[in-house]
Amino acid sequence: MSSRVRLADVTPPIALGPLDGRYRAAVAPLVDHLSEAALNRERVHVEVEWLIHLAQHRVVPGAPTLTAADEAYLRDVVATFGPDEVAELAAIEKTTVHDVKAVEYFLKSRLAAAPEGSALRDVGELVHFACTSEDINNLSYALMVRGAVQDVWAPAAGALVDQVAALAHELRDQPMLALTHGQPATPTTLGKELAVLAHRLRRQLTRIAGDEYLGKLNGATGTYGAHVVAVPGADWPAVSKAFVEHLGLTWNPLTTQIESHDWQAELYADVARFNRVLHNLATDVWTYISRGVFIQIPVAGATGSSTMPHKVNPIRFENAEANLELSSALLDTLASTLVTSRLQRDLTDSTTQRNIGPAFGHSLLAIDNVARGLRALSVDTGLLARELDENWEVLGEPVQSAMRAASVAGVTGMENPYERLKELTRGRRLTAADMREFIGGLGLPDDVAARLAALTPASYTGLADTLVGYLDA
């Protein structure tokens, strides 16, 4: 047997996971926020802003004043952070064997290269001043996750919900036989059923939009120990609060060495709940396709089956289901793991948080698939009409309800309405003539009898069409 090529040695490297391989195009925007390179860029950002904050507010006596040009130089280090800088940091880390220390040395090298006469050449020891690694990491992750949610995931999720809502409005008047427990039930409209899902998804997006992103900067065990010894005259909690809020985050005043990650657990639970509602949409649409309610528009040149040429498989919704399940499993694990840290610190959160990207990546991929799948659907109105016309027994509900109301109003002969309709309809397939004959023999007031006689399964949709309007409330 001939030896095989070692794929692990191929250049450029082959992706191990599908998010960085097969599905890269759908999730690429998250790389700017949740990749390892993005983490290092945010670490540089936090270190730069901490240095500027200390200098601007003259927290450390004797520190030189930075000019606008100095601050611009520092912030340009972040703005120009790219592949060369990623490689440089990796080389430094090979020596330090510590990722945050590598960032400190990286930034100090940039200070040493500042223009001649710049005060930046004299502020090297303000880099990472009084910080533990987690002061930098927790703020970096908060900024990364906030950016990923607000700039990438939430816009995509919101656009999908708007797409579902628009489809609900379009189909608000399309009557459809409902199925409860898989059995024919009170008719609805296809639009109203989609509106239910759009409303559920929007509620989760509202919760996610209100979630907080917390941060801390308080030293090795959250006591400001080194801060107070180095500069006893500073109001360190106030300095910390001002800095965290300057970054646009919510200050956490009480922590161990790490920020407690409770905000992450809260956010991930909300995103996982959005995933699960979207999963419900995917399974419902899949079922409507299976029933023939939705027809998939074939894509030119596409193959549905390797052996059955007639097939157009609902792959977008099946792909979405799988990725939503993977995303929710990861988010659940993140949420349950991150809220626990032994005593003042352990490192379980370090490797755990490196999987935030895949958790959001699988969700974003699912959102993309559902959106594409919905765009390729049309409705078989003829099928819906036939199903309704074949199930006149569903009018047993309004007829017995009208009999109840007539009885309350004093009309005689309305006894046992439920039981009488049960005897007429249960286990039987009625025709329009059967139902109208029954209604005509009840002795209902003329106006009630006429209203029921005019009723059809297709017109028995209540307020379904108007309820779609609540999406706009």
In degrees and rounded to multiples of 5, residue 114 shows phi and psi of: -65, 160
Residue the block writes with tokens 């801060």: 227
Within 13 Å of residue 376, how many CA atoms lie on the same side as its CB?
Answer: 20
Among the listed residues 2, 181, 306, 310, the single catalytic one is: 181
Q: How far apart are CA 161 and CA 205, in angstroms?
A: 9
* DSSP assigned state of 118: -
- Known catalytic residue: 181? yes
Whether 305 is a known active-site residue: answer yes
Question: Can you list the pairs that 398-406 forms with residues at least 24 positions away whose Cβ atoms lie under 8 Å?
Answer: 398/452, 398/455, 398/460, 399/435, 399/438, 399/439, 399/442, 399/452, 402/444, 402/448, 402/451, 402/452, 403/442, 403/444, 405/448, 406/444, 406/445, 406/448
Closest CA to 137 of 264, 28, 269: 264
- Candidates 98, 109, 246, 305; catalytic one: 305
Contact 187, 460 (CB under 8 A): yes
Could you write out the DSSP letters of every residue in 399-457?
Answer: HHHHHHHHHHTT-TT--SHHHHHHHHHTT----HHHHHHHHHTS---HHHHHHHHT--T
Kind and range of the H or E element at 124?
Answer: none
118 Cβ partners below 8 Å, 6+ apart?
Answer: 67, 69, 70, 73
How far apart are the C-alpha atoms of 418 and 401, rounded to whole Å?
8
3-state secondary structure at position 138: helix
Return d(Cα 198, Cα 170) in angstroms, integer: 13
Residues recognised as catalytic: 181, 305
